[in-house]
Chains A and B, each alone.
Chain A
C-alpha cells in the first residue's frame, strides 16, 4: 500500500481521475455557537424537524448528531474549575484566570473517515465513497438494516423513524459537484468551519495550532488530523480546546473492521469446532448407540 493510496480513499475506491479529497477543518476556538451551520444544513438538505425540546444542556437543544441533525453545535460550560482552565504559566490570557469559567462551543459533523466502518459494513452498497473522498448514503438503496448505526465509532449515522432509512451528512455532495462550498461552511460567520482540499486544510490547521500555542493557549490540540490514527485520519477534523470526550467525541477511535480478518479466523475455528462436535456426538462409542 503506497502512501498516496492510503491517504486517497477515492483512488482506493476505484476512481481513476478524480478531484482532490475535500473536507472540513472545524476550528472550535473561534466558534461562537450561533448555530447558523445547523440551520443552513437543514435548509439546503431539506432535513426534517427533529423535535423542539428544551434540554437544559446549556444552549444545546439538538443534543447530538442524528438522522435529522447533520451539524450539531455542542455547548460546554466549565464553571470555576481552575485545574481544567489554566495550563502552562497559570495566567494564560486565552484560558482565563484561576477559578474563572469558560464556555466551549463546537460544531460537530460526520468525520468522512479514511477507513469508514459504516461503508465497510453496509450490506446493500447504499453507502459509497464519492470522487471527493467523502462517504454518502444513497437513500433509494438503503433498506434500513441499521448496521452502519452500530458500526460508527462516533455515533454519527442514524435511522430516521419516519422513513426507515439511514441518514447523515453528505458533505453537500450536490453542491460539491457544482464547485460550491457546503452549506454549513458557507453560512459560518467566523470561519470556524473551513472547507477545502484536505491537504490545504491540514496545513492551515497546523499553522493555526502553532499560533494558538504561541499565544499561550497550550490546551489547543488537533483531533483526527493524523492519517496514522485508528480511522486513517478524518476528512472532517477539528481543533479542540479540551479532551475529545468533553465534547462527546471518542479520544482514540479505531475502525472496527480493522479486526475483521481476525474475527473471521475465530469464526472459522468456531465453525470447525461446531462441526467436529456434531461428528463426535454422532460417533458410535463402544457400548453405546
Chain B
C-alpha cells in the first residue's frame, strides 16, 4: 500500500446517509422500471399488471423523493434544487427528471385505479415511461460523477448494473402483486434484468481489478453476495415456479430484495473505497508511472455545459422515445463527443 498521512483518507467519505440514499437508488429504480413495464403492459392490454406497476411506481417515487429531502443538510431548502438547471450536475438533471416524472406517474396510477380519464391516463403512462428510463439510470451518473474510486471507476458498467437491478425489482414486484397468469411479462422483465445486472456486475469487477476489492470485502461484499444468491434463487423460482401463486410471490420478493441488496452493496463499496487512502492513491500512482508527466491525459475533454447538454439531449432522444418513433438525428449528435 502506498504512503499516506497517518493512514487518513485522501478524499472525504460520502456524507450521504444510509438507508436514505441507497434506499433512494433502489426505490427510484423500482419506480422507473415499473413505469416502463406498465406502459408496455398497458399497450399490450395486460391491465392487471399495468395497474399494479403504475401504483408501485407512484408509491416508490413518493418514498424516494421523501428520502432525498430527508437526507439534505437543510431539508427546508429542497426547492433550491429548482433555482438552476445544470447539466454538469447529475443531481440537478435528476431533480428535474423526477419533477417531471412524479406527477405523470401519479396521474397514470390515478387514472388506472379510478378508471377515469383513460386518454389522459394513457398519455401520462407514456410520459412517465419516457422520463422513467432516465429516472432509473441517471442515478449511476449521480454516484459515478464523484471522486469516490469504486464508484467513479465503474462508470461504464454502473448504468447497466442499475438498469438491470431496476428491471429485477419491477419484475419482482409484478410477480408479487398480480396472479401468475397475468405476470408473464413481469417474469420475463425480471429475468432480463437479473441477467443484465449479473453480467454488468461481473464486468465491473473484472475491469477494476484490485480496485474492485471494496465490492468483494467486508459489509459491501456480504451485501453484494447476498444479492447474488437471492437473484439466483428468485430467477430459479420465476422460471420453474409455473402457475403456483405463492411460489411466484416468494420469487418476486426474493428479486425485489436482491435489487435492494445490490444498491446497498454498491453504496457501501463506495464508502469503503473512500475510507482507504490506498484506493485513491494507488491508481493515480499507476497512471503517473505509465505515462510521461506532460501528456498523461492525452484525450481529455473539457466538460462544457454545451457538451453535457448535447449528450443529454442525444440521450433523451435515443432512449426515452418508445421504439417506433426513434429519431434519426440522435446518432450524429452523440458522435460529436469523442
The interface of chain A, by Cβ under 8 A from chain B, is 1, 6, 57, 63-64, 74, 76, 115, 117, 120-126, 141-147, 149-155, 157-159, 163-166, 226, 228-230, 232, 243, 245-254, 256-284, 288-289
With A124-B81, A282-B185 known as contacts, the answer to whether A273 contacts B140 (CB < 8 A) is: no
With A1-B302, A121-B90, A125-B84 known as contacts, the answer to whether A158 contacts B133 (CB < 8 A) is: no
In the assembled complex, the Cα of A270 lies from the Cα of B192 at a distance in Å of: 13
B214-222, B227-235, B243-251, B317-325: which one contacts chain A?
B317-325
Q: Is the CB of B302 within 8 A of A264?
A: no
Tell me which of A123, A261, A282 contacts B301 (CB under 8 A).
Answer: A261
With A257-B303, A270-B159, A281-B192 known as contacts, the answer to whether A145 contacts B72 (CB < 8 A) is: yes
Q: Is the CB of A121 within 8 A of B145?
A: yes
Q: Is the CB of B196 within 8 A of A277?
A: yes
Q: Is the CB of A261 within 8 A of B319?
A: no
Select the residue from B8, B12, B15 with max chain A CB neighbours within 10 A: B12
Considering only CB atoms and an 8 Å cut-off, how many residues of chain B contact the other chain?
Answer: 104
In the assembled complex, the Cα of A143 lies from the Cα of B74 at a distance in Å of: 5
- Nearest-CB distance from B305 to chain A (Å)? 9
Tell me which of B9, B73, B141, B160 contacts A263 (CB under 8 A).
Answer: B141
Select the residue from B4, B41, B145, B152 with max chain A CB neighbours within 10 A: B145
- Nearest-CB distance from B147 to chain A (Å)? 4
B101-109, B111-119, B258-266, B283-291: which one contacts chain A?
B283-291
- 27 A-B interface contacts by CB (under 8 A): A57-B6, A64-B5, A74-B5, A120-B89, A123-B89, A143-B81, A144-B77, A150-B148, A152-B147, A245-B2, A246-B4, A248-B6, A254-B297, A256-B146, A257-B88, A261-B301, A261-B311, A263-B145, A268-B319, A271-B320, A272-B318, A272-B319, A274-B137, A274-B166, A275-B36, A275-B320, A280-B192
- Nearest-CB distance from B67 to chain A (Å)? 13
Q: Is the CB of B136 within 8 A of A264?
A: no
- Nearest-CB distance from B14 to chain A (Å)? 5
- Contact of B239 with A by CB under 8 A: no
In the assembled complex, the Cα of A283 lies from the Cα of B192 at a distance in Å of: 13
Q: Is the CB of B136 within 8 A of A284?
A: no
**1/0 contact trace for B66-101 toward A, CB 8 Å?**
000001111101101101101011111001000000
Q: Which residues of A contact B274 (CB under 8 A)?
A: 150
With A124-B81, A165-B74, A281-B188 known as contacts, the answer to whether A245 contacts B95 (CB < 8 A) is: no
Select the residue from B78, B188, B297, B307 with max chain A CB neighbours within 10 A: B188
- Nearest-CB distance from A106 to chain B (Å)? 10
Q: Which secondary structure dominates chain B's binding surface?
A: helix
Q: Is the CB of B319 within 8 A of A260?
A: no
Closest to A151 in B: B146
In the assembled complex, the Cα of A279 lies from the Cα of B322 at a distance in Å of: 9
Q: Is the CB of B152 within 8 A of A256?
A: yes
Q: Which residues of B contact A153 (CB under 8 A)?
A: 11, 147
In the assembled complex, the Cα of A66 lies from the Cα of B138 at a distance in Å of: 29
Q: Which residues of B contact A228 (CB under 8 A)?
A: 294-295, 297
- Nearest-CB distance from B96 to chain A (Å)? 10
Q: Which residues of A contact B83 (CB under 8 A)?
A: 124-125, 141
In the assembled complex, the Cα of A121 lies from the Cα of B158 at a distance in Å of: 18
Q: Is the CB of B311 within 8 A of A264?
A: yes
Q: Is the CB of A248 within 8 A of B88?
A: no
In the assembled complex, the Cα of A123 lies from the Cα of B145 at a distance in Å of: 13
Extra 10 A-B pairs, beta carbons < 8 Å, given A248-B8, A256-B146, A269-B159: A125-B83, A256-B145, A259-B152, A264-B308, A265-B314, A268-B137, A269-B319, A272-B319, A274-B163, A280-B192
